[in-house]
Every structure is written in structure tokens, then in C-alpha cells.
């Protein structure tokens, strides 16, 4: 799962999506200037485990990093992930601490 996770950025619905046989995992967002606010994480019940969520969040953050955007995590789950994974600290805008 880790190597083949392909995320779709659904700009119309403003969410990153990952389709599975159990449904769609998604992170909703709001884009303002060069900042992306990650507002809500939704995963199908069958995939509601820490390993899947961490892989999904990591893949989304890697995609955001490639686009040179700053991340403001308003979702508690995404903020918690960023607290534990300091390698993504440079994605936070200046002055934002979690």
C-alpha cells in the first residue's frame, strides 16, 4: 500500500482523495495564497487505523511539498502527525507552531 498510494487532488471539492475498495479516504482543504489549510481527515471505517492514516497523511504532505505550499493543519489528526514527524516542520508557515 505504501509504495503504490496515488493521491488525487480534487480541486473542485477541495480535497485530496485516495480511492479504495472500501470507499474514499480524503483530506479536505482550503487554499489561501501560498498556504493550504488541512481542515478534515475522513477515512472509511475499514481503514480507520493509525498505519493507514499516517501513510495517507505522509503521501498528501509529500505532494504539497512538491508544490512549494505551506501547510496549516487545522485538523487535529494532521496536527498530531506533524508534531510527531519533525521532518515536515519546514512545511509550516513562519510563526505557526503546533
CATH number at residue 55: 3.40.630.30
Residue 51 per-residue DSSP state: H
Range of the domain at 28: 8-91
Q: What separation in angstroms does the CA of 50 have from each of 35, 41, 67?
A: 26, 12, 26
Domains: count for the chain? 1
φ and ψ at residue 19, rounded to 5 degrees: -85, 135
- Structure confidence by residue, pLDDT tens digits, 9-41: 999 999 999 999 999 999 999 999 899 999 999
Return d(Cα 11, Cα 14) in angstroms, integer: 5
In a domain, 28, yes or no: yes
In a domain, 96, yes or no: no
Is 79 within the bounds of a domain?
Answer: yes
- Predicted local distance difference test score (pLDDT) of residue 3: 55
Chain segment 38-86, per-residue pLDDT in tens: 999 999 999 889 999 999 999 999 999 999 999 999 999 999 999 999 9
Amino acid at each position: 500500500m505504501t509504495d503504490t498510494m496515488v493521491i488525487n487532488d480534487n480541486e473542485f471539492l477541495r480535497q485530496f482523495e485516495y480511492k479504495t475498495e472500501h470507499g474514499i479516504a480524503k483530506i479536505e482543504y482550503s487554499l489561501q495564497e501560498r498556504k493550504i489549510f488541512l481542515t478534515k481527515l475522513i477515512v472509511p471505517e475499514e481503514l480507520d487505523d493509525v498505519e493507514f492514516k499516517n501513510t495517507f497523511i505522509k503521501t498528501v504532505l509529500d505532494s504539497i511539498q512538491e508544490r512549494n505550499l505551506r501547510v496549516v493543519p487545522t485538523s487535529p489528526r494532521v496536527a498530531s502527525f506533524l508534531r510527531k514527524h519533525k521532518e515536515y516542520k519546514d512545511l509550516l508557515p513562519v510563526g505557526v507552531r503546533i
